[in-house]
Amino acid sequence: MPYISRTAGPLYIVRWDNPQAGDVAMVEREVADAARSAPGKLYGLSIVPATTRAPDDATRTAMGRSMSKLLVHLETMHVVIEGSGFAHTILRNVMAGIILVGGKRGRVFVSRDVGEALPILGKQADLSRAQLQAILGAHGVLHDRAG
């Protein structure tokens, strides 16, 4: 499966495995649908596990274009790029640079693991760390090192 996604309370969560360009459009539709049915604000959490293969050029392009479309429906987007190696660090830094250049600062946040993202996401969504961990755990998007 290229990704799993869930909507839980004020959260839209996607965990990538092997993203393809067509998956990006599916996620955009899912977010738009979730926002229409949400009783309040919707917050995004995108998790990229350390084992995820790098997307091809078409997928990277689709993902880059997608952020603005997603932010129409999401208050904020938290992108978690897991992994401690050099390549993962560079990827997080590149993503942070894209966010700054794209004028998304304050709406898109990049973290190295889910635990790092939870305090900011919790404050924005008015949920405690324990509530967030329970939601993420119940929906199968965490693994042993997250949270």
Q: How confident is the model over 61-74, as a mean pLDDT?
A: 86
- Read off the pLDDT band of 103 (50, 70, 90): low
* In the predicted structure, residue 46 carries a pLDDT above the cut 60: yes
More confident residue, 99 or 106: 106
Asked if 129 and 122 touch (Cβ cutoff 8 Å), the reply is yes
How crowded is residue 110: how many other Cβ atoms within 10 Å of its Cβ? 21
CB neighbour burial string for 23-57, b if at least 16 within 10 angstroms, e if fewer: bbeebbebbeebbeebeeebbbbbbbeeebeebee
Q: How is the beta sheet containing 11-16 ordered, strand by strand?
A: 3-8, 11-16, 43-48, 77-81, 108-111
Lowest mean pLDDT among 2-6, 48-52, 122-126, 127-131: 48-52
* In the predicted structure, residue 144 carries a pLDDT above the cut 50: no
pTM (whole model) above 0.75: yes
The maximal CA–CA distance of the chain, rounded, in angstroms, is 41
Burial class of residue 144 (count of CB atoms within 10 Å of its CB; 0-12, 13-18, 19+): exposed
